[in-house]
Amino acid sequence: MLKKIEEAADFLKSVFGVKAAIGIVLGTGLGNLAKEIEAEKEIPYSEIPNFPISTVEGHSGKLIYGKLNGVQVLAMQGRFHFYEGYDMKTVTFAIRVMHKIGITHLLLSNAAGGMNPAFKIGELMIINDHINLFPEHPLRGKNYEELGPRFPDMSEAYDADLRKLAFDIVAEHQIPHVSEGVYVGTQGPTFETPAEYRFFRVIGGDAVGMSTVPEVIVARHAGMKCFAISIITDLGVEGQVEKVSHEEVQRAAAKSEPMMTLIFKELVKRI
């Protein structure tokens, strides 16, 4: 694994000459932020050594290197999900590579179902913590001290300073419908039954989705600071559970994306 990470990192350094400290991972229906990046280079995952290829609709699968609001960033358009069939080492491979090329801060977005009864569709939830319910752990197996400690601390998986900065931005720009909460990471690909939404609420979740948790675990293992936002695309609130489809998730995500984009654009300037 170390060799594979190094090969991919060396390749990216040779094409990008990477100077970015900020990595961005764009979630389902949230690729539009990429249009705000003044791209210097774009590279499809298929051209990067050892990179997996993203299969899900709504993810085009490339790395974008360029400036967001004048700040050098490296963005992943399209991520790897456990439900696609990848093991967790593969799901999180790109995060290892980002760390290897010098990324210190990771910003992530996702679409999620809301269990908190105060939430409305289209709301943004700044993730302040997570519950990992994936059936495979990305750090399971031999630990390489070069990559991080055997037993990583997770007391502040989502960096408190970055969250504070984001709420400053929300206040300054009077961005409506932004809250914070706990993200439950689950394997999918089914959306939840009403009983599962209820269960996730009871155990302390505000929103549920099928990504982000593996990437954040690996990023924290490597010592990177993480910030993540969920767009609430459907509700798993008791009495309000309706049918949900991938298309609806994408539509709802796209509608709220400009607000999320504004937070990311301002945040990169303040990191």
Instruction: For residue 209, state whether it binds ligand HPA (rule: CB under 6 A).
Output: yes
Do 219 and 95 meet the contact criterion of CB atoms below 8 Å apart?
yes
Give min distance, CB of 66 to ligand HPA, in A.
28
Residues 154-193 that bind ligand HPA (CB under 6 A): 191-192
**DSSP code string of 71-117:** EEEEEEES---GGGT--HHHHTHHHHHHHHTT--EEEEEEEEEE-ST
Residue number, 234 or 266, with CB nearest to ligand HPA: 234
Give min distance, CB of 62 to ligand HPA, in A.
22
* Measured distance CA(64)–CA(42) in Å, rounded: 5
Residue 65, CB-side half-sphere exposure with 13 Å CA sphere: 19
Give min distance, CB of 141 to ligand HPA, in A.
27
Report the chain's terminal Cα–Cα distance, integer Å: 30
Residue number, 60 or 240, with CB nearest to ligand HPA: 240
Instruction: For residue 116, state whether it binds ligand HPA (rule: CB under 6 A).
Output: no
Give min distance, CB of 11 to ligand HPA, in A.
32
Residue range at the interface with ligand HPA (CB under 6 A); choices 7-15, 40-48, 123-131, 233-241: 233-241
- Residue 120's identity, in one-letter code, is K
Nearest one of 37, 49, 32, 25 to 110, comparing CA atoms: 25
Residue number, 146 or 242, with CB nearest to ligand HPA: 242
Residue number, 148 or 236, with CB nearest to ligand HPA: 236
Instruction: For residue 261, state whether it binds ligand HPA (rule: CB under 6 A).
Output: no
SS (H, E, C) 23-84: EEEECCCCHHHHHHEEEEEEEEHHHCCCCCCCCCCCCCCEEEEEEECCEEEEEEECCCCHHH
Contact partners, residue 173, CB within 8 Å, separation at least 6: 262, 266
149 CB-contact burial (10 Å; exposed 0-12 / middle 13-18 / buried 19+): exposed
Residue number, 133 or 244, with CB nearest to ligand HPA: 244
Instruction: For residue 113, state whether it binds ligand HPA (rule: CB under 6 A).
Output: yes
Q: Under the phi-then-psi rule, with left for phi > 0, alpha for psi from -120 to 50, and beta for the rest, what region is 123?
A: beta
Instruction: For residue 214, state whether it binds ligand HPA (rule: CB under 6 A).
Output: no
Residue range at the interface with ligand HPA (CB under 6 A); choices 79-87, 88-96, 171-179, 229-237: 229-237
**Candidate list 244, 255, 262, 265; residue touching ligand HPA; CB under 6 A:** 244
**Candidate list 24, 34, 64, 112; residue touching ligand HPA; CB under 6 A:** 112
Nearest residue (beta carbon) to ligand HPA: 113
Binding region for ligand HPA (CB under 6 A): 111-113, 191-192, 208-210, 233-234, 236, 244, 249
